[in-house]
Amino acid sequence: MRDEYKSSTVYQIYIKSFCDSNGDGIGDINGIRKKLLYIYSLGVKYIWVTPFFCSPMADNGYDVSDYRNVNPMFGTMEDCEAMIREADELGMGFMFDMVFNHTSDEHEWFKKALAGDPEYMDYYIFRDNPPEWTSVFGGPAWKFVPSLGKYYLHLFDPKQPDLNWDNPKVREELKDVVRFWKEKGVKGFRFDVLNRISKPANLEALPAGDGSYFCKDGPHIHEYIQELVSDTGIGEMITVGEMASTTLEQCIKYSNPEGTELSMCFNFHHLKVDYKDGGKWTLLPPDLHELRRIFTTWQEGMSKAGSWQALFWCNHDQPRIVSRFGDEGKYWKESAKMLATFIHLLRGTPYIYQGEELGMTNAHFTDISQYQDVESTNYYKIMRENGVSEADALAILAAKSRDNSRTPMQWTSGNNAGFTSGKPWLSVNPNHTKISVDAEELDPDSILNYYRELVRLRKDCPAISEGNVKFLDSGNENVIAYERTLGNERVVVLCNFSGNDEKVKGIDVKGKVLIGNYSGSHKMMKPYEVLVILES
């Protein structure tokens, strides 16, 4: 049903770290099947699972060598079909992750291209004299192939060559992949780095710089998305595109209310408020003024246009939010609940990333050998080459590495957090002795139970799923407040982003407390307090 996603919540699974069913230390499809009832208990409607297709795993599956087959490391096609069916029986649907900006260099198309087959060379982006672009993971974005005397574009790793969407054959191939999974019963799709697929014309004439930046929101982007959606008939399904560094104007089109493109987009502006001068590999406390400004612009702008946002703090590329904008020490529980409420009651569809509902924290690795992620290990080298000390480089990785979110899911306080009976591919966070599903199930006041309440509130309260949104002036930079209104109903959300008591001025609200993490008053807020009041 179209629009059902407005009152629904999505759960994201990073398959490699979720649950290992066969003791090889790697999460898998049968592990997901074992935990479907747990996911169901959260009240979510959709499950986005990161890629488990055939892949040499240079970027943990975001380098696909066969879009229609399951990587044996994760299971079989029968397991996958059973997983889809079993979720369906529980009234939940899977969203599969389509990595269509690039393939693996081990995909048969690229192998043929490398062998000099002109038909397949035109599936990719080969040039004689490309501009000096850098890639997202560090180093050049073009790789020279001596046998062809040409360079190919890879906005990410050299093992992830970019596809040429200007070639209609490529677009047809990719539509076929979507149709294939749709026929298997998948209920929606997430499209990886989608706003990079349409490359600029006359590439070779462009200056040196960040390749990814030059390829964002390219000349045919809307045309290609519309074609993909209409030709595969996915307009009625839940679809989300990963749209980094884009603008409000573009996103209004990407998720336009006519439904010609996607249901919603992932944007990342709010997750750059702790980047010094826009750089990820830096340390900076979050700029709350900027955070409020970004949410105000995007929420109110999208609302006015009738477009829709994906709401999230965490995913497999982001550090853990409680460590990042909260306080994982003294106010662990309070700050995790405040951050969750802030996101879940906004206008859009919330995404919960595995373990976020437990208040899982950053990994706190202390040695470079503990990291597995290609971006983290590359940037460690780059930082060291640029004179950053070992201690500083490790401190930056400890705050920014993608592996912070990829440590295994903490099911129990026991061996390997109940994730595997073998040796986990990435170390388990030692704090699983305190933070685990088992521990939180026993605590009625747990973060886990609080997330269940938030998911339920969205389903039960139309002002939250459908209402207008407006940011309020709390007279205090540390307290961000907004209201959601529909008919006579007004829901006011007040969030203290600081570890101190904070005074609120100028917000008048009387009514029933819908949810909160203290039994406080909205005039004086306790550390990381959140208070949600319904006026009707």
Residues forming contacts to Ca ion in the complex (CB under 5 A) are 20, 22, 24, 26, 28
Indicate which residue of 63, 157, 162, 242 is catalytic.
242
The CB-of-27 to Ca ion minimum distance in angstroms stands at: 6
Size of site (CB under 6 A) for ligand GLC: 9
Task: Starting at the earlier edge strand, list the strands of the sheet with 468-472.
Answer: 468-472, 479-486, 489-496, 530-535, 512-516
**Contact between residue 224 and residue 197 where contact means Cβ atoms under 8 Å apart:** yes
Q: How far is the CB of 150 from ligand GLC (least distance, A)?
A: 23
- Decide whether 55 or 198 has the Cβ nearer to Ca ion: 55
State yes or no: is 300 an active-site residue.
Answer: no
Cβ closer to ligand GLC: 312 or 482? 312
DSSP label of 485: E
Rule CB under 6 A: choose which of 124, 156, 224, 254 binds ligand GLC.
156
> In Å, how far from its chain's centre is CA 473?
29
Among 84, 99, 170, 291, binds ligand GLC (CB under 6 A): 99
272 vs 458, beta carbon nearer ligand GLC? 272
Could you say which of Ca ion, ligand GLC, none residue 193 binds, taking C-beta under 5 to 8 angstroms by partner kind? ligand GLC
Nearest residue to 106 (alpha-carbon basis) of 151, 53, 159: 159
Binding mask of the shown chain, residues 180 to 209, with x at each position contacting ligand GLC by CB under 6 A: ------------xx----------------
Of the two residues 74 and 254, which places its CB atom closer to Ca ion in the complex? Answer: 74
Nearer to Ca ion, 25 or 520 (CB): 25
What type of residue is 18? Answer: F
Q: How many angstroms separate the CA atoms of 77 and 69, rounded?
A: 7
Give the separation between CA 55 and CA 73, rounded to whole angstroms.
10
* Residues of this chain, 33-92, that bind ligand GLC according to CB under 6 A: 59, 62
24 makes contact, choosing from ligand GLC, Ca ion, none, with CB < 5 to 8 Å by partner type, with Ca ion
Distance, CA of 460 to CA of 287 (rounded, Å): 33
Determine which one of 192, 274, 334, 357 is catalytic: 192
- H-run or E-run covering 168: helix 168-183
- Residue nearest Ca ion by beta-carbon distance: 28
Pairing of strands 53-54, 66-70: antiparallel
Residues paired with residue 310 on neighbouring β-strands, in sequence order: 349
Whether 242 sits among the annotated catalytic residues: the reply is yes
- Helices 221-232 & 168-183 angle (0-180, nearest 10): 40
Tokens representing 330 are 């003294």
Which residue's CB is nearer to ligand GLC, number 136 or number 532?
136
| Interaction mask 207-246, ligand GLC, x per CB under 6 A | -----------------------------------x----
Residue 329, burial from CB neighbour count under 10 angstroms (0-12, 13-18, 19+) = exposed
Closest distance of CB 485 from ligand GLC, Å: 34
Q: Across the strands, what pairs with 10?
A: 46, 351
Site residues for ligand GLC, window 312-341 (CB under 6 A)?
316-317
Q: Work out what residue 99 binds among ligand GLC, Ca ion, none; the CB cut-off runs from 5 to 8 Å by kind.
A: ligand GLC
Across 156-284, the runs of DSSP E, i.e. the strands, are 188-191, 209-210, 238-242, 264-266
DSSP state of 408: P
**Is residue 514 within 8 Å of 534, Cβ to Cβ?**
yes
Residues that are catalytic: 192, 242
Q: Point out which residues bind ligand GLC (CB under 6 A).
A: 59, 62, 99, 156, 192-193, 242, 316-317
